[in-house]
DNA sequence: TAACTAAAGTTAGAGGGAATAACGAGTCAA
DNA sequence: TTGACTCGTTATTCCCTCTAACTTTAGTTA
């Protein structure tokens, strides 16, 4: 049934497949260069093809549409950011509880500052702007994995040494219900009360970073490093861990 | 010198000018309808003209380019949002100090929730995405007026009854310097220490709202009303005013 | 009243982008 | 050798922005 009888047949197939994948990677790399050099509006099928010495329609052998290409590129960005965050958090592990979280948070900001155009595409896709009701599949999938990295750190802190949590009874019923559902979706590894702390921390950090990257506060602050560190200090207080200033 | 000798000459000129302005307003209204109905990508010169029963190039009599039209539309949105915020804050005035701030904050969220597409264009213009270095003139001008509305409320609270402020000596030098410069740009009406509290409050509120409107947290929270109110409670604590739950 | 002027609309067209169709050249296996 | 498959091409369609050149119309002026 299978055509995998021996290597004489599978080898060329694999080689072709690898060539195809490197071509796709080259297309995405070219698109990213265009994004960084000339802005998001310059990322067109024709412009990418021109940069690669190809004719426009050739790219449709590799991506069915411009939107698909852009989505793949955004998935790249998510992957790169998540990898950077994971690496930073593992580097800081073994020390005091929460050192991984601090390292991860700083690497998140570092990546966003180093790649503002890419970060902008993560936050709001130019593709998703097309239709009003259409939700962003990349953001739903990868955005989940994105918050997940932060969640893992909070989870580690929670499992090592519980942090203070608010009483879920004091919350409005709608909020309590949503927290319970979310906690369940997490497999119950984080109780609803602790999940509310995780979400509060994540919103604080991510919200502040967006304010900075999208320059919403630049009428007052050009350099937001101290404010970001102040935010991290408050997260540490909320999670009952020790704050350590960045080294270097 | 002036051609304003009597009404026989000025009347037709004014009438033409008025006609021109109502035409511009109609164009912007049509564009907004397109934005709301079919998304940002549908806001094209040709589509607007089609909806109005005109040919495309006719619109260039009223706006020099698509970008200019979009900028004018965004200025409309800023104006509408700011007017809503101002109205809400004046309605709540006279009562306890800070009641205006609470009303304003809630009307801000109310407007953003009612007009997510418009809010999206305030936060990140599709025009500004063109070039990487190009800053957004509308956001710089109107965004300032936007934060100003919140600032006025904080200022009123400050002048009525000082709120606790952090010591500027304890801050990093970079932050202290930026705060002093900002305070000076404000005409010294708010000292640097108090300005840091204003900015912290504004970033918290605006950042949280962006998280909600851009659905960054919808993996956990569908309805963020309680979280927004929680944030308002914390702002009240920071500004040393009484929190009052929304009526209704 | 007749001619002039300026504004507001028109069509035609250049230039670019997304996407499809139809076609040619290479590769590989039977 | 032949047939199939892949990857590239050009040609074409449709839509977009924007300019040029024109008609029409309303208001002004001699």
Tens of pLDDT, residue by residue over B53-92, are 999 999 999 999 999 999 999 999 999 999 999 999 998 7
Lowest mean pLDDT among A158-167, B142-151, B185-194: B142-151
Choice among A5-14, A194-203, A204-213 with the minimum mean pLDDT: A5-14
Per-residue pLDDT for A6 more than 50? no
Beta carbons within 8 Å of A52's beta carbon, 6+ residues apart: A26, A27, A30
At B132, the pLDDT band (50, 70, 90 cuts) reads low
Higher pLDDT pick, A190 / A17: A190
Confidence bin at A14 (pLDDT 50/70/90): confident
- In this structure, chain B runs to a length of 248
Q: Examine the pLDDT at B102 and tell me if it is beyond 70.
A: yes
Question: For B169-212, what is each residue's pLDDT tens digit?
Answer: 999 999 999 999 999 999 999 999 999 999 999 999 999 999 99
Residue B153 has which token pair? 């409320």
Architecture per CATH, domain A15-63, reads as Orthogonal Bundle (1.10)
pLDDT band at A13 (very low <50, low <70, confident <90, very high): low
Specify the pLDDT at position A212: 97
**CA distance to partner chain A, nearest, from residue B15 (Å):** 38
Closest nucleotide C1' to the C-alpha of B49: C9
Can you name the CATH fold of B1-63? Answer: Arc Repressor Mutant, subunit A (1.10.10)
Output the pLDDT for position B125. 80
At residue A11, the pLDDT reads 54
What does the pLDDT look like over A36-83, one tens digit per residue? 999 999 999 999 999 999 999 999 999 999 999 999 999 999 999 999
Q: CA angle, corner B125, sides to A116 and A218, nearest 5?
A: 55
What pLDDT is attached to residue B3? Answer: 39
Structure-model confidence comparison of residues A105 and B125, the more confident one: A105
Q: What are B97's two structure tokens?
A: 């100090």
Q: What is the pLDDT of residue A125?
A: 80
Report the alpha-carbon distance of residue A104 to residue A106 in Å, rounded: 5
CB pairs under 8 A between A and B: 133
Instruction: Tell me: pLDDT of A160 over 50.
Output: yes
Chain A residue nearest residue B186, CA to CA: A220
For residues A17-32, average pLDDT: 96
* Mean pLDDT within A132-140: 77
Radius of gyration of chain B (CA): 22
The domain at B75-239 falls in which architecture?
Orthogonal Bundle (1.10)
- Interface residue of B44, B203, B227 to substitute, partner A, most A CBs within 10 Å: B203
Name the token pair of A37: 């050099």
Which strand C nucleotides have any atom less than 7 A from protein CB atoms? 7-13, 16-22, 27-30
Look at phi and psi of residue A161 and say left if phi exceeds 0, alpha if psi is from -120 to 50, else beta: beta
Average pLDDT, chain A: 91
Range of weakest confidence among A74-78, A91-95, B48-52: A91-95
Q: How far is CA A213 from the centre of its chain?
A: 14
Instruction: Give the gap in angstroms from C-alpha B151 to the nearest C-alpha of chain A.
Output: 12
Please tell me the predicted confidence (pLDDT) of residue A82: 96
Confidence of residue A12 (pLDDT cuts 50, 70, 90): low
Phi and psi dihedrals of B49, rounded to 5?
-60, -45
Residue A91 has pLDDT above 90, yes or no: no
**CB under 7 Å from strand C:** A 8-9, 12, 15, 44-47, 56-57, 60, 64-67; B 16, 19-20, 23, 49, 53-58, 61-62
What are the residue boundaries of the structural domains of chain B, listed by start?
A: 1-63, 75-239
If pLDDT is split at 50, 70 and 90, which confidence band does A9 have? very low
Sign of the four-CA dihedral B226, B231, B232, B236: positive
* Per-residue pLDDT tens digits for B18-40: 999 999 999 999 999 999 999 99
Strand D-proximal residues of B, range 30-89, CB below 7 A, are 44-47, 56-57, 60, 64-67
What mean pLDDT comes out for the span B111-129? 90
Query: Cα(B205)–Cα(B147) distance, rounded to whole angstroms?
Result: 11
Average pLDDT over residues B118-143: 80
Give Cα separations from B70 to A2, A75, A244, B59, B63 (angstroms).
58, 30, 46, 13, 10
pLDDT in tens, A199-231: 999 999 999 999 999 999 999 999 999 999 999
- Gap from A32 CA to chain B (nearest CA, Å): 13
Q: What is the mean pLDDT of residues A225-248?
A: 96
Q: Which residues contact B6 (CB under 8 A, 6 or more apart)?
A: none
pLDDT on residue A1: 37
| Domain A73-239 architecture | Orthogonal Bundle (1.10)
On the 0-12 / 13-18 / 19+ scale of CB atoms within 10 A, B220 is buried
């Amino acid at each position: 049934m299978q055509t995998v009888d021996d290597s004489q047949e599978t080898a060329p197939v694999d080689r072709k497949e690898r060539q195809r994948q490197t071509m796709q990677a080259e297309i995405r790399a070219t698109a990213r260069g265009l994004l960084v050099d000339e802005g998001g509006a310059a990322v067109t099928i024709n412009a990418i093809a021109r940069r690669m010495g190809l004719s426009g329609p050739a790219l449709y052998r590799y991506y069915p549409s411009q939107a698909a290409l852009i989505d793949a590129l955004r998935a790249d960005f998510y992957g790169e950011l998540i990898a950077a965050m994971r690496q930073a958090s593992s580097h800081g592990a073994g020390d005091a509880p929460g050192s991984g979280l601090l390292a991860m948070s700083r690497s998140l900001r570092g990546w966003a500052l180093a790649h503002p155009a890419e970060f902008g595409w993560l936050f709001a896709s130019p593709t998703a702007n097309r239709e009003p009701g259409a939700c962003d599949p990349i953001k739903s999938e990868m955005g989940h994995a994105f918050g997940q990295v932060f969640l893992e750190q909070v989870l580690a802190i929670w499992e090592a040494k519980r942090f203070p949590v608010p009483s879920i009874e004091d919350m409005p019923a709608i909020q309590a219900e949503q927290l319970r559902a979310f906690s369940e979706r997490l497999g119950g590894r984080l109780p609803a009360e602790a999940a509310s702390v995780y979400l509060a921390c994540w919103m604080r950090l991510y919200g502040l970073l967006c304010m900075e990257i999208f320059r919403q506060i630049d009428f007052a602050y050009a350099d937001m490093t101290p404010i970001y560190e102040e935010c991290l200090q408050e997260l540490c207080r909320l999670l009952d861990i020790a704050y350590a200033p960045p080294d270097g």
